Copies of this chain bind each other. A is one copy, B any other.
Amino acid sequence: MFEVRVKTSNRVEAVNITDKIADLVKEKDARLLHIFVPHTTCGLMINEDADPNVVKDILDSLERVAPRDHSYRHTEGNADSHVKSVIVGSSVTVPVSSGKLLLGTWQGIFLLEFDGPRERRVLVTLL
């Protein structure tokens, strides 16, 4: 198990962590990568890392599903962050071969921060 730290700078933000993760996989004999955030107000996703507008559209769409200013029961001001985290999920998995992530041409791995800025932990398991 490896741990990667990710500092976020805004309340809501997508941080591309593909290179950090790819480095951990290099020269290892793994078949599957599992990464996990031990947090309840951020998540992980795999999607396009070419046009940054794609990630913005994704974050905007999640905001429409769980608006920050909706009237929630949880009163810490981050109920929307919990909902968004559940929708995207706390983990992603990627097949690995010969020390390389088998990501598609347009795929990147992102930590989605929904309640930053914070320092987040990403737990990496290679199987």
Binding site for B on A (CB under 8 A): 1, 31-32, 34, 36-40, 45-48, 51, 53-54, 56-58, 60-61, 64-66, 72-76, 79, 82-83, 85-95, 97, 102-107, 121, 123, 125, 127
Contacts and interface: CB of A to CB of B under 8 A. Distances in A.
Given A40-B106, A82-B48, A127-B127, A54 B74 contact: yes
Nearest to A105: B38
A75 B31 CA distance: 36
B36 A34 contact: no
Q: Chain A: interface secondary structure?
A: mixed
Given A40-B107, A58-B82, A127-B127, A90 B91 contact: no
